[in-house]
Amino acid sequence: MDAWALISYLILFIAFTVIVGRLFSTRGKVFLEHLFDGNTQIADAANFLLNIGFYLLCLSMMLLNISLSLPMTGLADAMQ
């Protein structure tokens, strides 16, 4: 993958992740407040943890996609 393709991939992936993450955060907060019978403290804490999990999952997928696009020269590179 050349440098311009990698940069454009990173920009689009990060922008899409932030937009979807904010959407999940705002809509999920309303759902979690309803789920926890109006207890906003628990809903806010659960929403925060779910958001962190979403961003970590997206970060790992981005790094996995980048590492899979790098050329492998042998079995040792494939094992890493």
Residue 66: inside a domain: no
Residue 31: inside a domain: yes
Cα dihedral 32→36→39→41 (10° resolution):
-60
Question: Where residue 68 falls among pLDDT bands split at 50, 70, 90?
Answer: confident
Cα dihedral 67→8→59→24 (10° resolution):
-150
Number of domains in the chain: 1
Element (H, E) at 3: helix 3-35
Residue 79: inside a domain: no
Residue 4: inside a domain: no
35-58 pLDDT, tens digit per residue, is 999 999 999 999 999 999 999 999
Q: Percent of the chain beyond pLDDT 70?
A: 85
Provide the residue range defining the domain that includes 40: 16-60
Residue 20: inside a domain: yes
Residue 27: inside a domain: yes
pTM comes to 0.79
Residue 36: inside a domain: yes
